[in-house]
Amino acid sequence: MKVLVAVKRVVDYNVKVRVKADNSGVDLANVKMSMNPFCEIAVEEAVRLKEKGVASEIVVVSVGPTTAQEQLRTALALGADRAILVEAADELNSLAVAKALKAIVDKEQPQLVILGKQAIDSDNNQTGQMLAALTGFAQGTFASKVEVAGDKLNVTREIDGGLQTVALNLPAIVTTDLRLNEPRYASLPNIMKAKKKPLETVTPDALGVSLASTTKTIKVEAPAARSAGIKVKSVAELVEKLKNEAKVI
Amino acid sequence: MTILVVAEHENGAVAPATLNTVAAAAKVGGDIHVLVAGQNVGGVAESAAKIAGVAKVLVADNAAYANTLPENVAPLIVELAKGYSHVLAPATTNGKNILPRVAALLDVDQISEIITVESADTFKRPIYAGNAIATVQSSAAVKVITVRTTGFDAVAAEGGSAAVEAVAAAHDAGISAFVGEELAKSDRPELTAAKIVVSGGRGMGNGDNFKHLYTLADKLGAAVGASRAAVDAGFVPNDMQVGQTGKIVAPQLYIAVGISGAIQHLAGMKDSRVIVAINKDEEAPIFQVADYGLVADLFEAVPELEKLV
């Protein structure tokens, strides 16, 4: 089966972001950018499905700026066969991204689409579910295990109370949680090979997709800072403080 | 304005997250209706009708809505949503699973995990693991929103007397099925609703050592959580994870044991009223947010703490 994987270029998870002085957003100048960690897990899962002989072709797609080609090349180095960049401005809302992905799904007709459950910049956790709505596909979100069983996909999901398993008709949408797999690193020969793999660029206009939004960001502020308290010298002192000062026990 | 709150329920009872979501709806202002979708949920609907401030309860009782499969529940909410200014659900795994599907079908953006209501169309929400707070304004005809429960104090579960109305609509997309569940069983309070939370990290060393935290938690009437490192290492199951992508907690007292304090973990607990950190590394970032820090070997400090509280 053909597998489509969507990836997003985001601030590296190790970077502590700072809010811009004019409160228009966070400062992304000269900040290290990477593939969203949940998207790395999505790519890895597709590669494993290919290694098992379940997936025949992996197409990786990103909706974002020209520079997102870096993340697409990373995915190609990890084992994706070809890449598509839907070139668009930064800061798209999830619905706009889902609409662009829907257009790619219509064109590519994958049996399975794997996405990260959320991007660590906007923390929205929406795109996969929205793509499922727009395509009419079943969804297995927050997946910790994915198994193809005949014409069904069994997805084990991490839910608040524990784990839940659902059986989905194909084609289906899966969004990854942290424990689905541990992504590999790209080897140097594979990074070199990835440079020769096809990477196609399209515009939302060419796909006939509107990126209009019903939401606007008015301002972005730093959160209320929490100041460090005191160090206590002993457990006895800690208990005394919790009882008499904080009055929480 | 009339607001539809999608109720979270489990084992035939209204989940506490529903009460926080109704509180957020009350901040928006207007009549509040609550939707209870599921199978054999008459009792849940009766309870929901008693929630303070609720004007009406819609109950969609149908086999198709058992286990709240999003493929079936989303079209139901979409059909109902047309009459509402806002659709709110708690940002639980269930709410997060269903509501974006609803928003896309309504062709509107969803606003995720709001922590304050500024006005009927303007909300604050954390981004970048809580390292920035965005104020967003929605021009959508129906505003579809998930609510971070720790941002809103729960309304009273009793005191209301709303009318209960059945919704006939049955949507069964027939493309997904529930297979099974492995739910954690615990006599301790639920993590997101507990007044005290004791959490362990990589420093616990192994799953067996969590027994020290369970003993302490039982003495304090606390819930037990964990950092991502402890869950990834297999010490404890995923439902215990506190952090950016796990559970968000804001108890009166949070005791972090053997947790270094990665920003992704801090995102899940830094709104706790009082934070205690016990760690043998005095440089651990957790001490930068802790009200009381104790640099000590946790295997000595935790048993001693258990004796003294």
Which residues of B are less than 8 Å from A37 in CB distance? none
pLDDT in tens, B91-130: 999 999 999 999 999 999 999 999 999 999 999 999 999 9
**Residue range(s) in chain B whose domain bears CATH number 3.40.50.620:** 2-166
Among candidates B93, B134, B296 on the partner chain, residue whose Cβ is nearest the Cβ of A159: B93
Q: How many residues does chain A have?
A: 249
B301·A144 Cβ contact <8 A: no
Could you report the average pLDDT of every consecutive run of 10 residues in chain A (249 residues)? 98 94 95 97 98 98 97 98 93 96 98 98 97 98 96 96 96 97 97 98 96 95 90 97 95
Question: Does the beta carbon of B283 lie under 8 angstroms from any beta carbon of chain A?
Answer: no
Which residues of B are less than 8 Å from A41 in CB distance? none
Q: How many residues does chain B have?
A: 309
Vertex B44 angle, CA B43 and B48, to 5°: 120
B183·A162 Cβ contact <8 A: yes
B93·A226 Cβ contact <8 A: no
B182·A122 Cβ contact <8 A: no
What are the structural domains of chain A? 2-244 (3.40.50.620)
Q: What is the pLDDT of residue A209?
A: 95
| Best CA proximity match to A86, nearest among A74, A106, A69 | A69
For residue B41, give the DSSP letter: -
CATH no. of B191-308: 3.40.50.1220
Q: What is the pLDDT of residue A10?
A: 97
A214·B289 Cβ contact <8 A: no
Model's pTM, two decimal places? Answer: 0.95
Among candidates B71, B127, B289 on the partner chain, residue whose Cβ is nearest the Cβ of A123: B127
DSSP, residue by residue, B255-292: EEES----HHHHTTTTT-SEEEEEES-TT-GGGGT-SE
**Residue range(s) in chain B whose domain bears CATH number 3.40.50.1220:** 191-308
State how far residue A87 is from chain B, nearest Cα, in angstroms. 20
A214·B139 Cβ contact <8 A: yes
- Chain A and chain B share a number of CB contacts under 8 A equal to 257
B109·A229 Cβ contact <8 A: no
Q: With respect to CATH, is domain B2-166 assigned 3.40.50.620?
A: yes
Among candidates B70, B122, B292 on the partner chain, residue whose Cβ is nearest the Cβ of A241: B292
The answer to whether the CB of A146 falls within 8 A of the CB of B97 is no
Report how far apart, in Å, the C-alpha atoms of A119 and of each of A104, A148, B152, B207, B267 are: 20, 26, 25, 30, 15
The answer to whether the CB of A142 falls within 8 A of the CB of A114 is no
State how far residue A214 is from chain B, nearest Cα, in angstroms. 5
Q: What is the pLDDT of residue A90?
A: 66
**Which residues of chain B, if any, have pLDDT below 70?**
none
State how far residue B278 is from chain A, nearest Cα, in angstroms. 10
Contacts with A, B 206-225, CB within 8 Å: 220
pLDDT in tens, A169-187: 999 999 999 999 999 999 9
Q: What is the pLDDT of residue A91?
A: 83
DSSP, residue by residue, A193-223: HHTTS-EEEE-HHHHT-----SEEEEEEEPP
Question: Does the beta carbon of B286 lie under 8 angstroms from any beta carbon of chain A?
Answer: no
A93·B109 Cβ contact <8 A: yes
